[in-house]
Chains A and B, each alone.
Chain A
């Protein structure tokens, strides 16, 4: 029985900050100039999801790998570290 990404993320310990550390700089660009939308594939936490005519950013489950920042062909993702002590805390690592 294949395990879903939601269930994988449920294993992890997150201290979720109120404010997102990820932001799509120009949402229009994703729809108008980015037919492939690789963020939908390469994010290991399924943070980026297509919702109608926009891409939603579900930062709460971010594993903080940085892939969206450099993998976005338009460098359209503003990426900061979550505030100190927030985000994922590995139990095992």
Chain B
């Protein structure tokens, strides 16, 4: 490939394709390099996408047959011990009407392929099956394109956008972002389990086309800092479990065995009963939060999406941050090219755009949260055990007075977790999210 481009984008995920759409719309000569056999072939997410950020790139995405699995009308949070649990849900009819597609599930292998096709139709060149193995640099060190694994693999470009996701050996090699430490990522495994659409609608109590997301916290991964997901797709359920990577090594637990145990939890098993597993995948989530975000731009390059560690774990927002940051990167590139200045100074608008947006504001708000979970393992072990033993005691009708039951619960709590420790936990938890 001896051809020169205005912009080379590494990775055909939500960040890269969003940027490609905006750039192609502005008539800028753009190439997207994707290592997978097709866009989406290597990509994983829980599966929730947000209409707001997608509509800012493709306003008529519904008419263009965006492959939506289910429109989310209810979000649940569970807090589980090993054999019991609390459930809290919020359902709102507005998400089936006026705010339809606020959130919806997608299969990334289908969605990313569709999304890349939109970029192609706008004029971007999307090349799958191509690994970027290095960056090209001028003598001064400016990034001047990428080197792919193909023969004659140099692709020259005025600007390079790195949107290659969280697992990036390219980042490590070129030093544009340091390798994450094990405690800075969560390793998540996910299984897609096939069930007939009507069965899903019955089990989750939703109408045709509507769906539910469930975030699961508590003692679901042997006491590790962990989270589970149960998301409804059209005719399958995505069941996932992630835990801090450092914990996997410390606790000597295997991800796939934990996933199996999660599937057998009494609150999970009935939802997936008689389902047929279709696929098993693994991926990282960034746990580092605001403080793990690298330098987001430099001479001739920018970084967007997961590659820039933009992920809000608490609100399970990643795809939208990728789309929004990809769009901002593209807008910055358009400005820089028109001024003919793609240096660090010329691209500095990107940093300002991100800082002024909800992206960095949200991540800054929750900057202490990752550390809070990691350092308070009692949230994933003692606390759910005590909480469900309290629930069990109060719900059981056995002739014991409620006053006496309260005493039993309070004694259990004091024994299981000193009052001061509980207060400190609440205080630090509040400080991490306020």
A-contact bits for B248-276, CB 8 A (1 contact / 0 none): 11001111110010001000000000000
B112 close to A (CB within 8 Å): yes
Decide if A36 touches B44 in the complex (CB within 8 Å). Answer: no
Decide if B180 touches A81 in the complex (CB within 8 Å). Answer: no
A3 close to B (CB within 8 Å): yes
Decide if B282 touches A63 in the complex (CB within 8 Å). Answer: yes
Decide if A45 touches B248 in the complex (CB within 8 Å). Answer: no
On chain A, the residues within 8 Å of B112 by CB distance are 93
On chain B, the residues within 8 Å of A3 by CB distance are 260, 277
On chain A, the residues within 8 Å of B252 by CB distance are 36, 38, 41
Question: Could you say which of A3, A63, A66, A69 has the most chain B C-beta atoms within 10 Å of its C-beta?
Answer: A66
Closest to A80 in B: B169
CB distance from A29 to the nearest CB of B (A): 16
Decide if B169 touches A79 in the complex (CB within 8 Å). Answer: yes
Decide if B179 touches A83 in the complex (CB within 8 Å). Answer: no
- B123-165 contacts to A, CB under 8 A, are 128-131, 133, 148-150
On chain B, the residues within 8 Å of A79 by CB distance are 169
Decide if B37 touches A85 in the complex (CB within 8 Å). Answer: yes
Q: A71-B182, A84-B150 are in contact. Are A45 and B282 (CB under 8 A)?
A: yes
Decide if A66 touches B278 in the complex (CB within 8 Å). Answer: no
A28 close to B (CB within 8 Å): no
- B374-391 contacts to A, CB under 8 A, are none
* Bound Cα distance A73, B284 (Å): 18
Closest to B249 in A: A38
Decide if B279 touches A70 in the complex (CB within 8 Å). Answer: no
Decide if B248 touches A90 in the complex (CB within 8 Å). Answer: no
Question: Could you say which of A63, A73, A93 has the most chain B C-beta atoms within 10 Å of its C-beta?
Answer: A93
* Bound Cα distance A8, B38 (Å): 22
* Bound Cα distance A83, B249 (Å): 29
B434 close to A (CB within 8 Å): no
Decide if B279 touches A65 in the complex (CB within 8 Å). Answer: no
CB distance from B184 to the nearest CB of A (A): 9
* Bound Cα distance A28, B47 (Å): 42
Q: A9-B280, A71-B245, A92-B279 are in contact. Are A85 and B255 (CB under 8 A)?
A: no
CB distance from B154 to the nearest CB of A (A): 15
CB distance from B339 to the nearest CB of A (A): 35
A89 close to B (CB within 8 Å): yes
Identify which of B109, B182, B189 contacts A90 (C-beta below 8 A).
Answer: B109
Decide if B36 touches A89 in the complex (CB within 8 Å). Answer: yes
Decide if B185 touches A83 in the complex (CB within 8 Å). Answer: no
B415 close to A (CB within 8 Å): no
Closest to B109 in A: A93
Decide if B35 touches A65 in the complex (CB within 8 Å). Answer: no
* Bound Cα distance A73, B183 (Å): 12
Decide if A12 touches B282 in the complex (CB within 8 Å). Answer: no
B96 close to A (CB within 8 Å): no
CB distance from B38 to the nearest CB of A (A): 7
- A1-27 contacts to B, CB under 8 A, are 2-3, 5, 8-9, 11-12, 15
On chain B, the residues within 8 Å of A67 by CB distance are 185, 187, 245, 248, 282, 284
Decide if A41 touches B282 in the complex (CB within 8 Å). Answer: no
* Bound Cα distance A82, B129 (Å): 10
20 A-B pairs besides A65-B284, A85-B128 with CB distance below 8 A are: A2-B260, A11-B279, A12-B280, A12-B281, A15-B37, A38-B248, A38-B252, A41-B248, A42-B245, A66-B167, A67-B245, A69-B179, A81-B169, A84-B128, A85-B129, A88-B281, A92-B110, A92-B279, A93-B40, A93-B107
The 10 lowest CB-CB distance pairs between A and B, nearest first, are: A93-B108, A85-B129, A38-B249, A66-B167, A8-B280, A44-B282, A93-B109, A42-B248, A63-B282, A84-B129
Can you list 22 pairs linking A and B with CB atoms under 8 Å apart? A5-B254, A5-B256, A11-B279, A42-B187, A42-B249, A44-B282, A46-B254, A63-B281, A65-B187, A67-B187, A69-B169, A70-B179, A70-B185, A84-B128, A89-B38, A90-B36, A92-B278, A92-B279, A93-B41, A93-B44, A93-B109, A93-B279
